Chains A and B, each alone.
Chain A
Amino acid sequence: MSLIEAKALGLTKARRPVLQDINLAVMSGEVLALIGPTGSGKTSLLRLLGLLDYPTAGEVTIDGHHTLGRRERLQLRQGMAFVQQKPIAFRMSVADNVSLGLRFRHLKYHPEESHSLLALVGLAGYERRDARTLSGGETQRLALARALITKPSILFLDEPTANLDPVSSEKVEEVLAHIAQQGNLTILLATHDMVQGQRLAGRIAVMMNGRLLQVGRPQEIFAAPQSHEVAEFVGVGNIWSGVVAAQQEGLMDIRIGSRIIQAVGNFSVGQAVDAFLRPEEISLSTHRDESSMRNVFRGVVRRLTWLGALTRVEVDCGFTALVLVTRRSAEELSLQEGQELYANFKASSIHVNSRAL
């Protein structure tokens, strides 16, 4: 049975739908990242699942328990912990802040436990400091220690690194990865940072405009986005809209502008489709390769962007293909704008979705 379940969850604020028809099941011990652009409803959903707000439609169950009664909510909430995007430090010492959740639960406070948690988040020796003198990054880590001391079964994290400098952000992620690895805690994380979601989570739920568009393992979402929006958000790179021109034994010809690409799939002729291809799936060559690749297009380099170890190449093949190559490959091909070359990719690397006309 799943630990957290959202059934047809909806939230309306000031007559505006914030969340619509959310169905989600989270298993015990799982790390799930809610990702989506700002304003997509991640925080709202996290707050509903964390029992901080009431939904206006549907229901959340935690470990099979209903969550609409005030008393049940308080009891269930005491089994979880929620770290907000901008955590607050109370007007008391760091140690007192950390032990607050224990006091609320009438549990015994062991100073050594708080020491080890503060050490884990890199705040060893801060116990007696006035918590309000901590920096943003330190407060975020304090909030993490404060959440963990109650040994919650579910940890909710709302944009845990959104307001932090890169060093603090790295430290927080390190701690989260460490906790996640232990596997005895279910973690729900809202983030707009794709890469962070991918690094920390076993599954990703992509949200947009208050709807859950796709839930799956990170590689599934990258390789097979279920919609144009998801593909765009996760940075698939190449999203080509076209029409199926022919289909035989699972191999389709898709017309994109004046060109035909070949992809694997069973859509019928005349169906409008989106074809998704990740930039690293395309290889470049100066000569026509004698390879098994079904798609080989002659094109012109329109733009080159150097991104450290990688180079982003925009090739005009009648449609625009975005390609990522290593810096060394770029040098070997002596890439330059205006250069003519071949873009090669496999039919099986392309993920195709139907599209309403």
Chain B
Amino acid sequence: MAEIWQGFLRALNLIITLNPEVMEITGLSLAISLSACLISAIISTPLGALIHFNSFWGKRFLVSLIQTFFSLPTVLVGLVVFLFFSRAGPLGGFGLMFSPAIMVIGQTILVTPLMIGLVISALSGLDHGIRETALALGANPLQMGWLLLREVRYGVMTGVVLGFGRAISEVGLALMVGGNIRGYTRTLTTAISLGTNMGDIEFSLALGIILLAIALVINLLLNRLQQR
């Protein structure tokens, strides 16, 4: 027990003294996951709106499929990305394997279904009259889309925050396609995994505390958004 306590204190020390390696890993993790969420939000918002506002054959099935992908196993996404981007894969020519870029791509794939799903459900929750009112006020299709997304902005933001939470805490994908290269693709989760294996408990604990703090911030943000 004393050992754990000691480890905890040393971990706090690493954080308070802004240990360069801890800060670097944290910065990289935040940068990768935030980029993935931003890209995903840019893709998911119009795509979710497109799916919601159009009636087409198989729409219900598509929405169910998207919802199924909410719990897509990260290692599965890792495998698919690996198959496509490894040297022998169809997109191998880009030479993106084991780079932060491929981790952003992987995380984007991971969180996009969640964000699309949340955009769809936010739009479904909108009063039908809102669309009608916009139409009656003379809105063109673009203005209508803008107005409706403005109405569901908190729902969309909730999606972004949840997506970020999923992206920053995943480990399988980051390990498989990022390769856990020190100073390049090592993130909070892969570093914890490696540190624990190597017996560097203080270091892993320090990163764990930071991850938990990020989770706390995410939750506070979510609560604020849901109260709107």
Residues of A whose CB lies within 8 Å of any CB of B are 50, 52, 74, 77-78, 81-84, 86-88, 90-92, 100-101, 103-105, 143, 146-147, 150
Contact = CB atoms under 8 A, between A and B. Distances in A.
Interface residues of B, number: 15
A145 to B, nearest CB: 12
Nearest to B154: A91
Contacts of A101: 137-138
Given A90-B147, A91-B150, A52 B140 contact: no
Contacts of A74: 138, 140
A86 B129 contact: yes
19 contacts: A52-B135, A52-B136, A74-B140, A81-B136, A81-B138, A83-B136, A84-B129, A84-B132, A84-B133, A87-B133, A88-B127, A88-B130, A90-B130, A90-B147, A90-B150, A91-B151, A104-B137, A104-B138, A105-B138
Q: Which of B129, B130, B136 has the most CB of A within 10 A?
A: B136
Per DSSP, are chain B's interface residues mostly helix, strand or loop, or mixed?
helix
Given A91-B150, A104-B143, A78 B136 contact: no
B96 interface: no
Interface in B126-177: 127, 129-130, 132-133, 135-140, 143, 147, 150-151
B132 A146 contact: no
Given A74-B138, A77-B135, A88-B127, 13 more contacts: A52-B132, A81-B136, A84-B132, A87-B129, A88-B132, A88-B133, A90-B150, A92-B150, A101-B138, A103-B143, A104-B138, A146-B137, A150-B137
B132 A78 contact: no
A91 B133 CA distance: 13
Contacts of A90: 130, 133, 147, 150-151
A143 B133 CA distance: 9
Contacts of A77: 135-136, 138
A131 B183 CA distance: 51
A144 to B, nearest CB: 13
Contacts of B133: 84, 87-88, 90, 143
A78 B130 CA distance: 17
Given A90-B151, A91-B151, A104-B143, A84 B138 contact: no
Q: Which of A78, A100, A150 has the most CB of B within 10 A?
A: A100
Nearest to B139: A104
Contacts of B143: 103-104
Contacts of B139: 104
Q: Which of B133, B140, B151 has the most CB of A within 10 A?
A: B133
Contact of A84 (B136, B140, B150): B136
Nearest to B153: A91
A100 B140 contact: no
Contacts of B135: 52, 77
Given A88-B127, A88-B129, A104-B143, A82 B151 contact: no
A277 B130 CA distance: 46
